[in-house]
Amino acid sequence: MAIAKSENITSATAKAAAIRQAKNDLKSDLNLAKEQYKMRIRVSDMLGGAAYDPAIKPEDFVSGVSNPCFTLIPGMTFVYEKKSQGQTERVEVTVTSETKVIMGVTCMVVMDSATVDGELVEDTIDWYAQDKAGNVWYFGEISRQYEDGDLVSLQGSWKAGVNGAKPGIVMAAHPNVNEIHRQEFAPAVAEDMSQVAGLNQTARMPFGVFRDCLETVDFTAIDAGKLELKFFSPTVGQVVLTIDAETGEREELVEILY
Protein backbone atom coordinates (compact mmCIF):
# COMPACT_ATOMS: atom_id res chain seq x y z
CA MET A 1 0.00 0.00 0.00
CA ALA A 2 2.81 2.42 0.88
CA ILE A 3 4.59 1.71 -2.40
CA ALA A 4 1.32 2.15 -4.30
CA LYS A 5 0.83 5.55 -2.64
CA SER A 6 4.33 6.54 -3.69
CA GLU A 7 3.16 6.42 -7.32
CA ASN A 8 1.34 9.69 -6.65
CA ILE A 9 4.57 11.46 -5.65
CA THR A 10 5.91 13.56 -8.53
CA SER A 11 9.36 14.23 -7.07
CA ALA A 12 11.72 11.36 -7.91
CA THR A 13 13.76 12.03 -4.78
CA ALA A 14 10.69 12.05 -2.52
CA LYS A 15 9.32 8.97 -4.24
CA ALA A 16 12.56 7.05 -3.66
CA ALA A 17 12.57 8.12 -0.02
CA ALA A 18 8.96 6.91 0.40
CA ILE A 19 9.84 3.51 -1.07
CA ARG A 20 12.88 3.19 1.22
CA GLN A 21 10.70 4.04 4.20
CA ALA A 22 8.12 1.44 3.11
CA LYS A 23 10.79 -1.25 2.92
CA ASN A 24 12.18 -0.27 6.34
CA ASP A 25 8.67 -0.38 7.82
CA LEU A 26 8.09 -3.81 6.28
CA LYS A 27 11.30 -5.12 7.82
CA SER A 28 10.35 -3.71 11.21
CA ASP A 29 6.84 -5.16 11.03
CA LEU A 30 8.14 -8.59 10.05
CA ASN A 31 10.47 -8.56 13.06
CA LEU A 32 7.53 -7.56 15.27
CA ALA A 33 5.46 -10.40 13.81
CA LYS A 34 8.21 -12.88 14.68
CA GLU A 35 8.35 -11.63 18.29
CA GLN A 36 4.56 -11.80 18.58
CA TYR A 37 4.55 -15.33 17.18
CA LYS A 38 7.15 -16.50 19.69
CA MET A 39 5.21 -14.90 22.54
CA ARG A 40 1.94 -16.51 21.43
CA ILE A 41 3.61 -19.93 21.30
CA ARG A 42 5.06 -19.32 24.77
CA VAL A 43 1.66 -18.29 26.13
CA SER A 44 0.00 -21.32 24.56
CA ASP A 45 2.58 -23.59 26.21
CA MET A 46 2.02 -21.88 29.57
CA LEU A 47 -1.71 -22.57 29.27
CA GLY A 48 -1.25 -26.19 28.28
CA GLY A 49 -1.41 -25.90 24.50
CA ALA A 50 -5.16 -26.39 24.12
CA ALA A 51 -7.37 -24.03 22.11
CA TYR A 52 -8.82 -21.15 24.11
CA ASP A 53 -12.57 -21.62 24.06
CA PRO A 54 -14.23 -20.79 27.41
CA ALA A 55 -17.77 -22.12 27.82
CA ILE A 56 -19.95 -19.09 28.53
CA LYS A 57 -23.39 -19.93 29.91
CA PRO A 58 -25.57 -16.99 31.05
CA GLU A 59 -27.03 -19.08 33.87
CA ASP A 60 -23.53 -19.41 35.38
CA PHE A 61 -23.31 -15.65 36.05
CA VAL A 62 -24.65 -13.51 38.88
CA SER A 63 -25.81 -9.93 39.19
CA GLY A 64 -23.10 -7.45 40.13
CA VAL A 65 -19.38 -7.87 40.75
CA SER A 66 -18.27 -8.48 44.35
CA ASN A 67 -14.86 -10.18 44.07
CA PRO A 68 -12.79 -8.82 47.02
CA CYS A 69 -9.96 -7.65 44.76
CA PHE A 70 -12.19 -6.42 41.94
CA THR A 71 -15.41 -4.98 43.37
CA LEU A 72 -17.70 -2.80 41.27
CA ILE A 73 -20.12 -0.57 43.17
CA PRO A 74 -22.20 1.79 41.00
CA GLY A 75 -21.41 5.43 41.68
CA MET A 76 -17.81 4.90 42.80
CA THR A 77 -14.93 6.57 40.98
CA PHE A 78 -11.26 5.65 41.41
CA VAL A 79 -8.74 8.35 40.47
CA TYR A 80 -5.16 7.52 39.49
CA GLU A 81 -2.18 9.69 38.57
CA LYS A 82 1.11 9.00 36.80
CA LYS A 83 4.09 11.28 36.22
CA SER A 84 5.79 10.69 32.89
CA GLN A 85 8.31 12.85 31.04
CA GLY A 86 7.32 15.93 32.99
CA GLN A 87 3.61 15.43 32.35
CA THR A 88 0.82 14.27 34.64
CA GLU A 89 -1.62 11.66 33.41
CA ARG A 90 -4.88 11.42 35.35
CA VAL A 91 -7.17 8.42 34.97
CA GLU A 92 -10.70 8.31 36.35
CA VAL A 93 -12.47 4.94 36.52
CA THR A 94 -16.21 5.26 37.17
CA VAL A 95 -18.55 2.36 37.89
CA THR A 96 -21.90 3.17 36.31
CA SER A 97 -25.34 1.76 37.05
CA GLU A 98 -25.69 0.77 33.39
CA THR A 99 -25.59 -2.80 32.13
CA LYS A 100 -25.04 -4.39 28.73
CA VAL A 101 -25.96 -7.90 27.61
CA ILE A 102 -23.10 -9.66 25.77
CA MET A 103 -23.29 -13.33 24.79
CA GLY A 104 -26.45 -13.50 26.90
CA VAL A 105 -24.58 -12.32 30.03
CA THR A 106 -25.57 -9.09 31.79
CA CYS A 107 -22.36 -7.09 32.21
CA MET A 108 -21.65 -4.04 34.34
CA VAL A 109 -20.50 -0.94 32.47
CA VAL A 110 -17.37 0.90 33.66
CA MET A 111 -16.20 4.21 32.16
CA ASP A 112 -12.52 5.22 32.06
CA SER A 113 -11.12 8.57 31.01
CA ALA A 114 -7.46 9.57 30.74
CA THR A 115 -6.17 13.13 30.52
CA VAL A 116 -2.61 14.44 30.16
CA ASP A 117 -2.13 17.85 31.72
CA GLY A 118 -5.89 18.33 31.51
CA GLU A 119 -6.33 17.29 27.86
CA LEU A 120 -8.43 14.22 27.09
CA VAL A 121 -6.33 11.52 25.38
CA GLU A 122 -8.49 8.44 25.83
CA ASP A 123 -11.84 7.28 27.11
CA THR A 124 -13.00 3.72 27.39
CA ILE A 125 -16.17 1.76 28.04
CA ASP A 126 -15.48 -1.63 29.69
CA TRP A 127 -17.85 -4.56 30.30
CA TYR A 128 -17.46 -6.94 33.27
CA ALA A 129 -19.47 -9.80 34.77
CA GLN A 130 -18.92 -12.25 37.64
CA ASP A 131 -19.68 -15.95 37.56
CA LYS A 132 -21.14 -17.97 40.43
CA ALA A 133 -17.69 -19.18 41.45
CA GLY A 134 -16.53 -15.57 41.96
CA ASN A 135 -14.36 -15.12 38.86
CA VAL A 136 -14.64 -11.72 37.18
CA TRP A 137 -14.83 -11.90 33.39
CA TYR A 138 -13.95 -9.18 30.90
CA PHE A 139 -16.33 -9.07 27.92
CA GLY A 140 -14.78 -6.24 25.93
CA GLU A 141 -14.26 -2.53 25.57
CA ILE A 142 -14.72 0.46 23.33
CA SER A 143 -11.41 2.33 23.40
CA ARG A 144 -11.31 5.83 21.92
CA GLN A 145 -8.07 7.80 21.52
CA TYR A 146 -7.97 11.57 20.97
CA GLU A 147 -5.52 14.18 19.72
CA ASP A 148 -6.25 17.88 20.13
CA GLY A 149 -9.84 17.01 21.03
CA ASP A 150 -10.44 14.93 17.90
CA LEU A 151 -11.17 11.21 17.85
CA VAL A 152 -8.27 9.58 15.99
CA SER A 153 -8.47 5.87 16.75
CA LEU A 154 -10.56 3.00 18.11
CA GLN A 155 -7.53 0.71 18.34
CA GLY A 156 -7.87 -1.99 20.97
CA SER A 157 -11.67 -2.09 20.87
CA TRP A 158 -13.29 -5.53 20.95
CA LYS A 159 -16.46 -7.30 22.02
CA ALA A 160 -16.80 -10.93 23.07
CA GLY A 161 -18.65 -12.97 20.47
CA VAL A 162 -17.75 -10.65 17.59
CA ASN A 163 -15.09 -11.57 14.99
CA GLY A 164 -13.88 -14.49 17.07
CA ALA A 165 -13.26 -12.45 20.23
CA LYS A 166 -13.70 -14.29 23.53
CA PRO A 167 -13.99 -13.07 27.13
CA GLY A 168 -11.25 -13.60 29.68
CA ILE A 169 -10.79 -13.58 33.44
CA VAL A 170 -9.49 -10.33 34.94
CA MET A 171 -9.69 -11.58 38.51
CA ALA A 172 -9.92 -15.17 39.71
CA ALA A 173 -12.13 -16.11 42.62
CA HIS A 174 -9.21 -17.69 44.50
CA PRO A 175 -5.89 -16.55 42.98
CA ASN A 176 -2.83 -18.76 43.40
CA VAL A 177 0.81 -17.78 42.85
CA ASN A 178 1.95 -18.43 39.25
CA GLU A 179 -1.65 -18.90 38.09
CA ILE A 180 -2.11 -17.37 34.65
CA HIS A 181 -5.22 -16.19 32.79
CA ARG A 182 -6.15 -14.66 29.48
CA GLN A 183 -7.85 -11.39 30.35
CA GLU A 184 -9.08 -10.84 26.80
CA PHE A 185 -8.84 -12.68 23.52
CA ALA A 186 -9.21 -10.85 20.22
CA PRO A 187 -6.18 -11.88 18.11
CA ALA A 188 -4.04 -8.94 16.97
CA VAL A 189 -6.42 -6.56 18.75
CA ALA A 190 -6.50 -7.44 22.45
CA GLU A 191 -4.40 -10.23 23.96
CA ASP A 192 -3.69 -9.16 27.55
CA MET A 193 -2.53 -11.83 30.00
CA SER A 194 -2.12 -11.80 33.77
CA GLN A 195 -0.05 -14.00 36.07
CA VAL A 196 -0.23 -13.97 39.86
CA ALA A 197 3.17 -12.92 41.24
CA GLY A 198 2.41 -12.80 44.94
CA LEU A 199 -0.13 -12.70 47.72
CA ASN A 200 -0.13 -10.58 50.89
CA GLN A 201 2.00 -7.90 49.22
CA THR A 202 2.29 -4.28 50.39
CA ALA A 203 1.81 -1.16 48.23
CA ARG A 204 3.09 2.12 49.68
CA MET A 205 2.23 5.55 48.31
CA PRO A 206 1.19 9.01 49.56
CA PHE A 207 -2.51 8.07 49.50
CA GLY A 208 -1.89 5.24 51.96
CA VAL A 209 -0.23 1.94 52.76
CA PHE A 210 -2.17 -1.05 51.48
CA ARG A 211 -1.35 -4.48 52.87
CA ASP A 212 -2.50 -7.97 51.88
CA CYS A 213 -2.47 -6.96 48.22
CA LEU A 214 -2.61 -9.36 45.30
CA GLU A 215 0.30 -8.68 42.93
CA THR A 216 0.07 -9.61 39.26
CA VAL A 217 2.35 -9.36 36.24
CA ASP A 218 0.40 -8.24 33.17
CA PHE A 219 1.74 -8.69 29.64
CA THR A 220 0.57 -9.03 26.05
CA ALA A 221 1.71 -10.89 22.94
CA ILE A 222 1.00 -7.78 20.87
CA ASP A 223 3.83 -5.91 22.64
CA ALA A 224 6.21 -8.54 23.94
CA GLY A 225 8.38 -5.99 25.76
CA LYS A 226 5.58 -4.51 27.85
CA LEU A 227 5.28 -5.69 31.45
CA GLU A 228 3.24 -4.14 34.25
CA LEU A 229 3.12 -4.98 37.94
CA LYS A 230 -0.28 -4.40 39.51
CA PHE A 231 -1.29 -4.41 43.16
CA PHE A 232 -4.95 -5.09 44.01
CA SER A 233 -6.14 -4.22 47.50
CA PRO A 234 -9.05 -6.16 49.07
CA THR A 235 -9.58 -3.11 51.30
CA VAL A 236 -10.28 -0.91 48.27
CA GLY A 237 -11.56 -3.66 46.00
CA GLN A 238 -9.51 -2.43 43.05
CA VAL A 239 -5.99 -1.92 41.77
CA VAL A 240 -4.16 0.69 43.85
CA LEU A 241 -0.76 0.72 42.13
CA THR A 242 0.57 -0.08 38.65
CA ILE A 243 4.31 -0.09 37.91
CA ASP A 244 5.83 -0.17 34.43
CA ALA A 245 8.50 -2.88 34.73
CA GLU A 246 10.74 -1.22 32.12
CA THR A 247 10.58 2.44 33.11
CA GLY A 248 9.59 2.15 36.76
CA GLU A 249 6.82 4.71 36.24
CA ARG A 250 4.05 4.40 38.79
CA GLU A 251 0.33 4.95 38.33
CA GLU A 252 -1.01 5.44 41.86
CA LEU A 253 -4.45 5.67 43.40
CA VAL A 254 -4.85 9.25 44.63
CA GLU A 255 -8.56 9.58 45.39
CA ILE A 256 -11.81 7.60 45.77
CA LEU A 257 -15.05 9.39 45.02
CA TYR A 258 -18.52 8.20 46.03
Residue 85's SS3 state is coil
| Assigned CATH for 58-257 | 2.40.360
pTM over 0.85: yes
Q: Which residues are registered as beta bridge partners of 72?
A: 65
Work out the pLDDT band at 85, boundaries 50, 70, 90. Answer: confident
Per-residue pLDDT tens over the stretch 179-209 = 999 999 999 999 999 999 999 999 999 999 9
Summarize the confidence of residues 105-134 as an average pLDDT: 97
| Side-chain half-sphere exposure of 255, counting CA atoms within 13 A | 11
CA distances from 235 to 13, 138, 202, 217, 226 (A): 63, 22, 12, 20, 28
> In the predicted model, is pLDDT for residue 43 greater than 90?
no
Spans of all domains in the chain: 2-46, 58-257
Cα–Cα dist 163/20, whole Å: 34
41 DSSP 8-state letter? H
Secondary structure class of 61 (helix, strand, coil): strand
pLDDT in tens, 144-185: 999 999 999 999 999 999 999 999 999 999 999 999 999 999
